[in-house]
Amino acid sequence: MQRSRTTLSWQKSVALAAGLLLLGSANAQTGDFLKPREAFRYALADTGEAFEIDFVIEDGYYLYKSKLSFASLSPGISIGQYALPGGIAHEDEYFGAQEVYRERFFVSLPYTVEGSRPDAAELELRLQGCADLGLCYTPQTWIAEVKLMKTGAAGKLSLDTTFGSPLGANADFLPVDEVFIPALTALDGNTVELGIRVLPGYYLYRDKITVTTSSDRVQLGRLELPEGEKKFDEWFGEMQVFHDDVFGTVPLARATPEAMDIELQIGYQGCADGGICYPPVTKIMQVSLPAATAVSALQAPATGAAGGPPVSEQAMLARVITQSGLWAAAGVFFLAGLGLAFTPCVLPMVPILSGIIAGEGENVSSRRGFALALSYVMGMALVYTAAGVVAAAAGLQMQAAFNQPWVLILFSSLFVVLALGMFGLFDLQMPSAIQSRLAGVSGNQKSGTAIGAFIMGALSSLVVTACVAPALIAALTVMAQTGDMLRGGAALFAMSLGMGAPLLLVGAAQGRFLPKTGQWMIAVKNAFGFMMLALAIWMLSRILPAGVTLALWAVLIFMAGVFLGGLTTLDAQASGLRKLGKGFGLLAILYGAVLLLGALAGGHSLLKPLGGLSAGISTGPGQEYGLALRRIKTVEDLDREVAMAAAGGKSAMLDFYADWCVSCIEMEKYTFSDPAVQAALTNTVTLQADVTANDAEDQKLLQRFGVFGPPTIIFFGSDGLQRHGYEVVGYMKAEKFAEHVSAAVAATDPVTVQR
């Protein structure tokens, strides 16, 4: 049975070959198809160590990769191992799945010479191709002769047959190294500039300029070159060339951010206007890279080739600042701030402003409420912007600076004082001497309150620093790296105004709807007093133990229930509203009691206060929500863990966390606990860096990745390299984060590498 199959296969091959031969012969005579040497053209040159072959394939034709081979016919010249470039997938009617070449491709054949070096060499080229319209040529065997470069001429070329045009011994052409002079410059830690000087009377082919590396410490992105002049080439058709000096940039993805020296291979080919063309040139050059920095790390993947990894949101916003007009960038960042206005980091400013307006007492008009809100927003925006500019210029961690325990205690104490004023314990106002002076300057008896609103807005900028957002990181990054404080500061100010825009509506609306006099005003002021106390507890929760924080919430909610009338005796004639208040007050009292019991039992969750009664020993942040996060402290810890993960074929995720980071806690409670997220991280080692202390080791780890603050999440592939473009900054919902994780761990290369 096996013999029969072999016979049939042989017969099929003979029939196929005969059919191809007849088809090729019949169509070649009709003139409807190009002759093989017209459809598949090539240029052959010697570089001294390798034969370089450029193939040009006409539109509508293709060559089989598997049918392409080369051999030397000259005694003493041996062709070494060579690699054919990757082709295009093609389903062939006769040969099945194949790789084919279209348009252009390049082959380098290394060779050795035994004995004396001859003047020329003969090569045998074997190939087979087809036309898309149905014609397949018979296998071709072509003999090509190439003149060999002379040795001992110290770079002088006496003969060149790149396109079959010999360069005579008396021709007045300069050596290639004097015509084209390359140079490499590191623009920053992640970008290298290639410059090639071109002498007058000569030109370079645009698509012959390449940059590659064999270093395992960096990966190169796509070489970005300007558009060249259009030129019709006798062999290659329409091409782009450079008659003048040319400069291009190459983005880098680095394994480590430390300063390093790397070797790059530069390739190029050019011609003289007088009619000769030089063979392709390859040079190995060294460039010194400075330490990688934040903005360069953001920009590197942004210039990657199409089909590369997604660009992170902060990188796109950084590009908006640097590449867009000032007003356009301000508009984008205003919208970004408007989106942030409804996050937990900005919403606490609403009760602060409401308390200021309620403190005005009677006859607060919409105009007055809007004016107070505007003063408050301008105070917040100006101080927030100034703090951002200073932090970027000095390289400070703005979050950590504004979340020092003494700062939080001071600010929380201010909220407590404001709350006591709302409860009527005293009248909170500026000293009469200052009020009189301000009134004399402006003629407005309410100017003192406007100044107070501005000051409260300035202090409230501390509340906003509790969270990191992509827009904030983009602005800080641009200022820190480019030194462009105007653009970065303008973007930050526009974002601040966007965050404060809804507060202007709150001011105008409260001026219209707040009750003017009577018990209603007292009730409203009491409510704002409790909001102020809630803000104080919320800020102190960043530094207090979870159990103590829960106990404070218990006392606050219990007392709120008392104020609502939960312990008040009602008679039969009590209004429905009072009964409703008593009901809610009683529920608040009961809930407060449960919270207090939970705090005493070791609980720390407002949603599950009695969880401490059945829970065991806490396993640390993240783990209690079902995701085991392995803690690291130093850069060395990180490198070791990532290397171990890569050795086991696993990817890695690094989460920057801090106790005072509100969004970090949100990520752990609502995102890391999601089953879909945990499923996506099945083959990923999850690491966590707790930067609460912000000590020297924390700073070093943050600076390695250009991180301005938590929450920031970095991904590493199973090869141990960072996946640039997949960074997560700020809170991200579980569904979106699960999709993001799947894409990050499935990514192969941080940038597309070009030959």
Q: Are β-strands 77-79 and 104-113 bridged in parallel, bridged antiparallel, or unpaired?
A: antiparallel
Q: What is the pLDDT of residue 324?
A: 75
What span, in angstroms and rounded, lies between the C-alpha atoms of 35 and 752? 37
Question: Can you name the residues that pair with 594 across neighbouring β-strands?
Answer: none
CATH of 176-292, one of 3.30.365.10, 2.60.40.1250, 1.10.1040.10, 1.10.150.20: 2.60.40.1250
C-alpha–C-alpha distance, residues 62 and 131, integer Å: 6
- What one-character DSSP code corresponds to residue 117? P
pLDDT of residue 68: 94
Tokens standing for residue 371: 């004016």
For the whole model, what pTM was predicted?
0.50
Residues 6+ apart with CB under 8 A from 753: 212, 219, 220, 221
Q: What does the pLDDT read at residue 436?
A: 52
Closest to 57 (Cα-Cα) out of 30, 85, 81, 29? 85
What is 623-746's CATH number?
3.40.30.10
The answer for residues whose C-beta is within 8 angstroms of residue 255's C-beta and 6 or more apart is: 216, 217, 218, 720, 721, 722
pLDDT at 293: 52
Q: Where are the domains of the chain?
A: 2-147, 176-292, 318-516, 623-746
CB-based burial label for 86 (10 Å; 0-12, 13-18, 19+) = exposed
Q: What is the pLDDT of residue 514?
A: 58
Q: What's residue 518's pLDDT?
A: 55
- Residue 315, SS3? helix
pLDDT per 10-residue tile (average), the chain, 755 residues? 36 40 40 82 81 86 93 92 86 83 86 88 93 88 84 40 37 79 82 89 90 79 86 73 89 73 90 81 87 48 43 69 79 84 72 69 72 85 81 59 68 77 64 49 48 77 64 70 75 86 80 59 74 79 79 88 83 78 87 86 74 52 64 89 89 87 81 90 91 81 78 87 82 88 72 35
Q: Going by C-beta distance under 8 Å and a sequence separation of 6 or more, which residues neighbour residue 190?
A: 251, 252, 253, 254, 292, 293, 296, 297, 299, 300
pLDDT in the model for residue 63: 94
In angstroms, the CA 375 to CA 452 distance is 9
**DSSP 8-state secondary structure symbol assigned to residue 179:** H
Residues with Cβ < 8 Å from 701, sequence gap 6 or more? 633, 634, 635, 638, 689, 691
Q: Do domains 2-147 and 623-746 have the same CATH topology?
A: no
* Cβ–Cβ under 8 Å, residues 549 and 604: yes
CA dist 703 and 395 (Å) reads 9
Give residue-wise pLDDT tens across range 274-328. Answer: 777 888 888 888 888 887 654 444 444 444 333 444 556 666 777 777 677 788 8
| pLDDT for the residue 2 | 37
Tokens of 205: 């082919």
Could you tell me which of 687, 697, 526, 535 has the C-alpha nearest to residue 621? 687
566 and 592 in contact (C-beta within 8 Å)? no
Q: What are the DSSP calls for 667-723, one per residue? A: IIIIITT-HHHHHHTTTEEEEEEE-SS--HHHHHHHHHTT--SSSEEEEE-TTS-B-
**Cα–Cα dist 424/418, whole Å:** 10
**Phi first, then psi: what are they for 277, rounded to 5°?**
-125, 135
Each residue of 109-130: pLDDT tens digit?
Answer: 999 999 888 888 999 999 999 9
Structure tokens at 344: 């937990």
Q: What is the CATH number of domain 2-147?
A: 2.60.40.1250
Long-range contacts, 482-490 (Cβ 8 Å, 24+) = 482/295, 482/322, 484/321, 484/322, 485/389, 485/392, 485/393, 486/326, 487/321, 487/322, 487/326, 487/329, 488/321, 488/388, 488/389, 488/392, 489/385, 489/388, 489/389, 490/326, 490/329, 490/330
